[in-house]
Amino acid sequence: MYDSSPRHGEFRTRRRGNRGFDDDAPITAKRTRRRSLPPVDYTTDGLPEGDRWSTWDQSIPTQRGPLPHPDWLVTDLAAVDTELGILKTGKEADVFLLRRGVPQGRSCLLAAKRYRDAEHRMFHRDSGYLEGRRTRDSRVSRAAANRTAFGRQAIAGQWADAEFNALSRLYAAGVCVPYPVQVLETELLLEFVGSADGIAAPRLAETRPDPASLAALWDQLVSALVMLARDGLAHGDLSAYNLLVDDGRLVMIDLPQVVDVIANPQGAGYLTRDAENIGRWFTARGLDGAASPAPADLPALLRREAMLDD
């Protein structure tokens, strides 16, 4: 049951309404101006106001998603990023809808997640999540620890990098997550999970699955969480609000706070909390008591898979 791997590819949904990428109420997507761009020098000569040339060539190979790149992804240097509106505002980041395409040619939709800079609120209660993370630059480490202006900006970049690296690692392992296209400073570009007309897939919390669908979603969730645990990871903030349901498939999102359960002294606690939180949701929705594992047994299963129990 745990080894079934979700398929990756174009995401479609018939669900109407715009859905967000974290716990806050979603905002309807419409044509808007960019609000909080990362400090990257985007060249816009000859482009309409609000658009930019593709940033693909500004990223180095380690800042791009796993190989091979999906067929749907546009990597042409002549492509233009057109901002279509805002998908979601949150405490730590805003998510925008982009269309990257070649004029009179192919295009793809992307979700641009932009983490707040030093002048905005940072990730709430971030100190626990940062335990066990290290940077090679000791000056950056000291500044981040002291929460100087430079340090807060560095932490914003660390959140983007952490989410990009986690998504790359999980995507390559077969976990159903959005394909991580690229990361540039505090902006993370992701595969848009939704329909071709820009309607996002609903979050699990917004669905009302029948008993059979609920059991199928539970099986997919357990499989994904077991893969994370075997890789020494916990989501860190798992709930029904950061799982998308795309035509019956469960897609895990929002991983900036991903926790290394071995390096982080609180790793076992985060792993257990994730399992208990999501297990309560499924139990409240009437998951059949014959489910294997039962929600109450999930925390112990994940601790064993992560080799945290003696």
Residue 172: which pLDDT band, with cuts at 50, 70 and 90?
very high
Res 203 pLDDT > 60:
yes
CB neighbourhood size of 60 (10 A): 9
Query: What's the length of the chain?
Result: 310
What pLDDT shows up at residue 31?
38
Homologous superfamily (CATH) of 204-305 is Transferase(Phosphotransferase) domain 1 (1.10.510.10)
Q: How far apart are CA 142 and CA 3, in angstroms?
A: 42
Are 131 and 224 spatial neighbours (Cβ–Cβ below 8 Å)?
Answer: no
pLDDT in tens, 213-224: 999 999 999 999
Q: How far apart are CA 259 and CA 278, in angstroms?
A: 17
Residue of 70, 25, 12 whose CA lies nearest to 251: 12
Are 144 and 130 spatial neighbours (Cβ–Cβ below 8 Å)?
Answer: yes
Report the topology of domain 51-191. Phosphorylase Kinase; domain 1 (3.30.200)
User: From the candidates 237, 260, 288, 310, which is the catalytic residue?
Assistant: 237
DSSP per position, 183-245: EETTEEEEE--B-TTSPBPPBGGG----HHHHHHHHHHHHHHHHHHHHTTEE-SS--TTSEEE
Q: Count Cβ neighbours within 10 Å for each residue of 122-141 and write b for 16 or more, e otherwise.
A: bbeebeebbeebeeeeeebe
Structure tokens at 73: 């992804």
Cβ burial of 257 (10 Å; 0-12, 13-18, 19+) is: buried
Res 11 pLDDT > 60:
no
Angle at 252 between CA 56 and CA 98, to 5 degrees: 35
Residue 45: which pLDDT band, with cuts at 50, 70 and 90?
low
Q: How far apart are CA 246 and CA 9, in angstroms?
A: 11
Say what percent of the chain tops pLDDT 70.
70
Mean pLDDT of 137-160: 57
pLDDT in tens, 98-141: 999 998 899 999 999 999 865 554 444 454 544 544 544 555 44
Res 305 pLDDT > 50:
yes
What pLDDT shows up at residue 19?
41
Residue 69: which pLDDT band, with cuts at 50, 70 and 90?
very high
Res 35 pLDDT > 50:
no
Query: C-alpha 114: how far from its chain's center?
Result: 12
pLDDT in tens, 206-251: 999 999 999 999 999 999 999 999 999 999 999 999 999 999 999 9
User: From the candidates 254, 274, 297, 310, which is the catalytic residue?
Assistant: 254
Instruction: Specify which of 20-24, 195-199, 217-221 reaches the highest per-range mean pLDDT.
Output: 217-221
| 237 counts as catalytic | yes
Sign of dihedral through CA atoms 137, 139, 144, 148? negative
What pLDDT shows up at residue 20?
40
Mean pLDDT of 141-165: 65
Q: What is the mean pLDDT of the chain?
A: 80
Domain residue ranges in the chain: 51-191, 204-305
At residue 278, the 3 state secondary structure works out as helix
Are 271 and 278 spatial neighbours (Cβ–Cβ below 8 Å)?
Answer: no
| 254 counts as catalytic | yes
What pLDDT shows up at residue 146?
52
Could you identify the residue written with the tokens 């059949």?
288
What does residue 114 show for φ and ψ, rounded to 5 degrees?
Answer: -115, 115
DSSP count for the chain of H helices, then E strands? 6, 10
Mean pLDDT of 58-71: 96
Q: Which residue has the higher pLDDT, 16 or 165?
A: 165
Taking each helix axis as running N to C, give the angle between helix 298-305 and helix 267-284, from 0 to 180 degrees, rounded to the nearest 10.
150
pLDDT in tens, 78-108: 999 999 999 988 878 899 999 999 988 999 9
Are 201 and 11 spatial neighbours (Cβ–Cβ below 8 Å)?
Answer: yes
Q: Strand pairing partners for 51?
A: 82
